[in-house]
Structure formats: structure tokens, C-alpha cells
Amino acid sequence: MSVLSSYGSRAAPGTMPLVGRSVTVEPITDDRRFDELFAAYGQPDNESLYDYLPYGPFTDAAAFSEWANRTYLSGEMLFHALVPATSGRAEGVAALMRMDRPNGVIEIGHICLAPSLKRTVAATEAFFLLMGRVFDELGYRRFEWKCDDRNAPSKRAAVRLGFTHEGLFRQHMIVKGRNRDTAWFSILDGEWPALRAGFEAWLAPENVDDAGRQRRSLQDMRHAVVADR
């Protein structure tokens, strides 16, 4: 059993941007990205982006901006704008939240990716950069991902990124007048080194073909790293 008597309370995440090859992850500290986010989200056929979130869709830029000022800048969570290098514009958000600093536990949530960002290298690298902040920079012990159990894409994304499914909290919430059973996932600090190596191998230039596609999947890279250890 690990001895944790010397484990101290972890710091809260800071506001320095995280810069990768394909994406920059910017903590949201003002409203300068709000118009970009509404443009990325606000198309009429994008209303399904909010199916499993407790807010939205938004009818116009003013309504979104008013809500974003209250929510993104509330100080209760640290929201991040996900800015792909290809566009230089915010195309998604993710929040670090529910920080239990004495126990080293933190959650990622309120994930909302525009269609232009979904299933891209930039999206995967953004999650990798946030994981690096949580584990390598801040020394947290546990990183959580929770979602509506009906949200199959979110559950698949969690598993692809290396989270372990831990179970189901039944009748956990009422969201938009519906019951929500919540699926719980986590990554532990002891699991992170192998996951990090898998991400690094997947993101390496030699894993990219002439068409800009990854030659091997993230899961394949992760399994190869584990097999080599």
C-alpha cells in the first residue's frame, strides 16, 4: 500500500496557455473568444451539441455571450478554449472542475466541440495537454470524466483517451427535465506514464502519412507501449 503521509494539497490549475503542435489550450479569463465559439457552435444544424449539456442551444450571439460571461468567467471552474493551429480560432471548450485539492482529484467536464474539431488530431492533443497539466505539472492522483450514460460518443471518447470505466451512478441528476444516470471514468497517476508515452507516439511526426492521417491508432500505440515495458 502506498504511503501518502507526505502528499500535500495540490495547486489549482493556472492560466498559462498550453501549446501543442496542432492546438493551443487557453484558459478562459476574458470574453475575447466568445464570438468565435458562438460562430463555431451557432449553426442551425449544431443544436445537437447541447443534447447532453444542462444549457443551450442559444438563439443568438448576445444570448450566448451573456450566458458565457456568467458561466465561463464565474470562477467556479476553469474553462479552456481549444484553438486549432489550422484556424487560430476557438472551436471548443473543456473545463477543469470539482477540484478536491487535498486528495489530488480533479474532473474534466463541460466538453463541447464544434463539428470542425471533432475527431481531429487537435482535439486529441488538447486532451493530452490537459492531462499533462493535471498529472505532470500539478501532481494530481486522479483525473475524472463523467457523462450521461446515454451519451455513447462521450463514453467511447473516454475509453479511447485511456480512461477506465468505473461504474454507473443511477438517477444521479435531473437535466432538462430528464433523468440522468451518470457513467464514471478515471485515469490514475500510476497509469499516466504509459498513457503519456502512447499519446506521444501517436502524435509523433513519423506516425503521420502524406495525407496528414495517423498511421496507427491511439489504442494501438498505447498497447505497443505497454507491451514494450
Q: Are 182 and 172 in contact (CB under 8 A)?
A: yes
- CA proximity to 218, closest of 108, 131, 105: 131
pTM for the full model? 0.95
Residue 224 pLDDT:
83
Listed as ranges, residues in the chain with pLDDT below 50 are none
Alpha helix ranges (H) inside the chain: 34-41, 61-71, 121-132, 152-160, 192-203, 218-228
Q: Which tens digit of pLDDT belongs to each residue from 179-191?
A: 999 999 999 999 9
Q: What is the per-residue pLDDT for 45? A: 78
Number of other residues whose CB lies within 10 A of the CB of residue 185 = 22
Give the domains, in start order, of the chain with CATH numbers. 18-189 (3.40.630.30)
At 222, list the grid cell. 498505447
∠ CA(104), CA(167), CA(107), 5° rounding? 30
In the 8-state DSSP scheme, what is residue 149?
Answer: T
Report the C-alpha gap between 52 and 121 in whole angstroms: 23
* Sole residue written with cell 445537437: 48
Rounded CA gap, 62 and 80, in Å?
Answer: 20
pLDDT at 101: 97
What is the structure's pLDDT at 59? 85
Strands across the sheet containing 164-175: 18-19, 23-27, 78-84, 92-100, 105-113, 142-148, 178-188, 164-175
Task: Report the distance separating Cα 170 and Cα 105, nearest Å.
Answer: 22
Q: Are 185 and 165 in contact (CB under 8 A)?
A: yes
